[in-house]
Amino acid sequence: MPQLTTRILPWYAVPWVIDGWQKVKRYPLIPLALLLFVMVIPAIFAPWVAPHDAFLGSLSDRLQPPVWQSGGTSEHLLGTDKLGRDMLSRIIYGARVSLTVSLIAIFVGGIIGTALGLISGYFGGRTDSVIMRLVDISLALPTILLALVLVAAVGPSFGTVITVLIVLLWARYARLVRGETLAIKELDFIARARVAGASHTRIMFRYMFPNVVNSLIVLATLQVGYVILFESALSFLGAGLPRAEPAWGVMVADGRELIVTAWWVSMFPGLAIMLTVLSLNLLGDWLRDHLDPKLRNL
């Protein structure tokens, strides 16, 4: 008689965990709340929300632990870094830095990529080949190496990070929009617009562009999390924002040598990065399911 064996499922395969995860993905309230309280509200109201100056510290208060740990004080709820600067204030101002970098890079890269994607898909032929080869080159560039070269040439700065991110992002938008445009230009309403005498520019931006907006919104939402991770990685390597800036990646880098004795210096900004990226990915999944009629009823 064969023996009955019981298989212990991992925690992520337990039915109630799966059901709970599906509910979180279906309803955007949880990721929206995380995004608002971790990134958006602190970024907008940083001067009024932050309890201390994010740039000034006192060496007499250096490496104070969080309030709930022995030696911590209510004056610095999340402790202080090695220069005595308040961790909570720097995390709040770091949200402003991350949001600003993300919005500028995604906006500029999205405009460039969308315009080139529309032109490539609509005209086809040699124009399409040239633009797609530029896309391939952009996607093949070692972006970390490019950032290091720019830093060596001009030094770490806000503009360096934005430039690297734009070079990285525009090709993703161009490839997505080009694929959508190839399908849309064969539809009947585009043929009727040509017969009516509409110009190429009007057809692309009046009739084609509105049909790719949904895909662009989803891609932009997902790219914010990617940009934050990439900017944090550049700052961690010293190829991003200057060390004086309260950027999350800079803060994680500042605490890597203190991870045993002062774990909070790296832990809290790393947790802010994780929660922000997770909420943006969940929100992007929800937008994709909501805006795509093929997935709406699944």
CA distance 107 to 99: 12
CA distance 79 to 64: 5
Q: Is 3 exposed, middle or buried (0-12, 13-18, 19+ CB in 10 A)?
A: exposed
In the chain, the domains with their CATH numbers are 32-48+77-291 (1.10.3720.10)
Measured distance between the N- and C-terminal CA atoms of the chain, rounded to whole angstroms: 43
Q: Report pLDDT digits (tens) over 158-211.
A: 888 888 888 888 999 999 999 888 888 888 888 888 888 888 888 888 888 888
Contact indicator for 93, 46 with CB cutoff of 8 Å: yes
Query: SS3 of 27, please?
Result: coil
Q: Report pLDDT digits (tens) over 120-131.
A: 888 888 888 999
More confident residue, 32 or 113: 113
Contact indicator for 43, 99 with CB cutoff of 8 Å: yes
CA distance 231 to 165: 8
CA distance 19 to 60: 50
pLDDT at 112: 92
SS (H, E, C) 65-77: CCCCCCCCCCCCC
Q: Is the pTM of this model over 0.85?
A: no
Mention every residue, 6+ apart, whose C-beta is less than 8 A from residue 295: 288, 289
